[in-house]
């Protein structure tokens, strides 16, 4: 505990005095350096967390959370009741997939076709969005395409297109690619440009006939109540489908999220160096303070103040500067993170440049997600660094010889 005398002297040394001009400048720069370091670290972590969350939301909104496929091409055990007992699924759909080429006049495009039952298509998340246009059911010989694909091929609802399959039809002149005509029945917008450009939906019976597939090739798609907790869900589902191949949205995007995680960790380390560099200014400031207060230290020791008390006084001076700087940095970082979109728009107008362009990041606004755990870790690291750098000058002040100090004064 700190005594009343120690507290009074500590607060007195924290106050600015005209004779301590250079020392005050160092203290101000130490304070600002730590504050800016903490604020920038919180802002970067918030933006990266927000970007990751937005990306996950868009991925799990347009793709199944868990897909179950048979290993040995046998009809997969669609024991849906056992999955429902787990109480983790929101929708369970049967689907099939295949690669094809879509043709419209002189335009062609390779796409992935996904097949669903007529009434199951309406259960997909992007079908329920306000941006979805057209029929919510997958009728036979009708197709649902993405907004980007409709722009690319100049298609509208009601237009007729031709789909060409890689599987051939035997004719008198040999094998020819199978072609079938479909009517554009709806246009969706998932939020992911690549998905909207490369994926289309048709009735599952049409798809299986088109690719000469049978029900053995069908997949089971599970949409979870909590898709973020994907690892535990996969573990539970694998207990039911022991002999089948199971993969999740996380497995399909593992490299992407691993890269984001590495980038976030590297940014955390680099920006923490800012705090460390700023904290070293505290050593300089406290060392100069000890030099300036040599006579005061000697007098305090001569009247019976213990070395431990001297150490605590200078240690708390550094700790208070670091703690207040950390608190100010947290407030600044949180406020900036909350209003980051408004700040982005303001800077774009002032500088006349486009910050965070939508065509590159596929997001209409700059994402930000404030994470209390991340802020707590940043605050803890900042105060820990401040504590460490405050210890050396405090110990140096405590070990000062009062006789020599008064002699040279």
Q: How many domains does the chain have?
A: 2
Q: What pTM did the predictor assign?
A: 0.70
**Is residue 62 included in any domain, yes or no?**
no
> Do 24 and 136 lie in a common domain?
no
> Do 232 and 377 lie in a common domain?
no
Range of the domain at 177: 72-242
Q: What are phi and psi of 187, to 5 degrees?
A: -130, 125
> Do 100 and 123 lie in a common domain?
yes
Rounded (5°) CA angle 148-150-155: 170
> Do 91 and 17 lie in a common domain?
no
**Is residue 28 included in any domain, yes or no?**
yes
190 and 146 in contact (C-beta within 8 Å)? yes
Token pair listed for 125: 């998340």
Q: Where are the beta strands (DSSP E) in 189-337?
A: 199-203, 219-224, 244-248
**Is residue 260 included in any domain, yes or no?**
yes
The span from the CA of 181 to the CA of 210, in Å, is 11
> Do 212 and 315 lie in a common domain?
no
Selection from 392, 399, 383, 398 nearest residue 319 by Cα: 383
> Do 351 and 224 lie in a common domain?
no
**Is residue 343 included in any domain, yes or no?**
yes
115 and 206 in contact (C-beta within 8 Å)? yes
Q: Are strands 174-188 and 219-224 parallel, antiparallel or unpaired?
A: unpaired
Give the pLDDT of residue 115: 92
> Do 104 and 169 lie in a common domain?
yes
**Is residue 132 included in any domain, yes or no?**
yes
**Is residue 356 included in any domain, yes or no?**
yes
The partner residues of 143 in beta bridges, in order of sequence, read 184, 202
> Do 90 and 237 lie in a common domain?
yes
**Is residue 170 included in any domain, yes or no?**
yes
> Do 307 and 388 lie in a common domain?
yes
The span from the CA of 366 to the CA of 50, in Å, is 8
What is the chain's pLDDT, residue by residue, as a tens digit (409 residues)? 667 777 777 777 666 555 555 456 767 777 888 888 888 888 888 888 888 888 777 777 778 888 888 766 555 555 666 676 677 778 888 888 888 888 887 788 889 999 999 888 988 888 888 889 999 999 999 999 999 899 888 889 999 999 988 766 665 665 677 888 999 999 998 877 888 889 999 999 999 888 888 777 788 888 888 888 888 888 888 887 777 788 888 888 778 777 777 877 887 888 788 778 777 777 777 777 676 667 777 777 777 777 788 788 778 878 888 888 889 999 999 999 888 888 888 888 887 777 766 656 656 677 888 888 888 988 888 888 888 888 777 777 777 766 665 555 5
> Do 319 and 236 lie in a common domain?
no
The span from the CA of 372 to the CA of 109, in Å, is 46
> Do 324 and 204 lie in a common domain?
no
**Is residue 64 included in any domain, yes or no?**
no
Question: Where does a domain end: 242, 271, 297?
Answer: 242
The partner residues of 116 in beta bridges, in order of sequence, read 95, 203
> Do 84 and 132 lie in a common domain?
yes
Question: Where does a domain end: 213, 242, 271?
Answer: 242
């Amino acid at each position: 505990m700190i005594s009343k005398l120690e507290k009074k002297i500590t607060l007195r040394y924290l106050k600015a005095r005209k004779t301590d001009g250079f020392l005050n400048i160092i203290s101000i720069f130490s304070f600002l350096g730590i504050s800016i370091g903490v604020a920038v670290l919180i802002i970067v972590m918030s933006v990266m967390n927000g970007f990751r969350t937005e990306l996950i939301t868009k991925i799990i909104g347009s793709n199944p959370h868990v897909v179950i496929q048979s290993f040995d091409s046998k009809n997969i055990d669609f024991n849906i009741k056992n999955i429902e007992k787990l109480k983790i699924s929101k929708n369970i759909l049967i689907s099939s997939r295949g690669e094809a080429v879509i043709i419209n006049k002189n335009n062609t495009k390779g796409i992935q076709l996904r097949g669903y039952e007529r009434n199951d298509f309406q259960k997909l998340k992007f079908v329920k969005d306000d941006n979805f246009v057209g029929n919510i059911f997958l009728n036979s010989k009708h197709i649902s395409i993405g907004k980007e694909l409709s722009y690319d091929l100049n298609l509208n609802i009601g237009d007729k297109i031709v789909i060409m399959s890689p599987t051939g039809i035997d004719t008198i002149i040999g094998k020819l690619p199978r072609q079938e005509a479909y009517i554009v029945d709806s246009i969706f917008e998932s939020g992911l440009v690549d998905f909207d450009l490369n994926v289309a939906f048709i009735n599952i019976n049409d798809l299986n006939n088109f690719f000469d597939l049978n029900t053995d090739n069908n997949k089971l798609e599970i949409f979870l109540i909590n898709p973020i907790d994907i690892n535990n869900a996969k573990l539970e589902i694998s207990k039911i489908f022991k002999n089948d191949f199971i993969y999740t949205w996380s497995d399909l995007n593992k490299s992407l999220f691993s890269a984001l995680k590495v980038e976030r960790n590297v940014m955390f380390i680099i920006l923490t160096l800012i705090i460390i560099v700023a904290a070293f200014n505290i050593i300089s400031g406290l060392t100069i303070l000890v030099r300036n207060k040599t006579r005061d230290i000697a007098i305090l020791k001569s009247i019976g103040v213990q070395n431990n008390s001297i150490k605590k006084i200078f240690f708390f001076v550094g700790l208070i500067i670091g703690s207040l700087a950390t608190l100010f940095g947290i407030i600044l970082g949180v406020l900036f993170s909350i209003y980051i979109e408004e700040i982005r728009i303001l800077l774009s107008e002032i500088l006349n440049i486009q910050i965070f362009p939508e065509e590159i990041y596929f997001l209409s606004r700059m994402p930000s997600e404030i994470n209390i755990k991340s802020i707590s870790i940043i605050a803890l690291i900042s105060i820990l660094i401040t504590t460490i750098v405050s210890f050396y000058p405090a110990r140096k002040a405590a070990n000062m010889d009062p006789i020599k100090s008064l002699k040279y004064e």
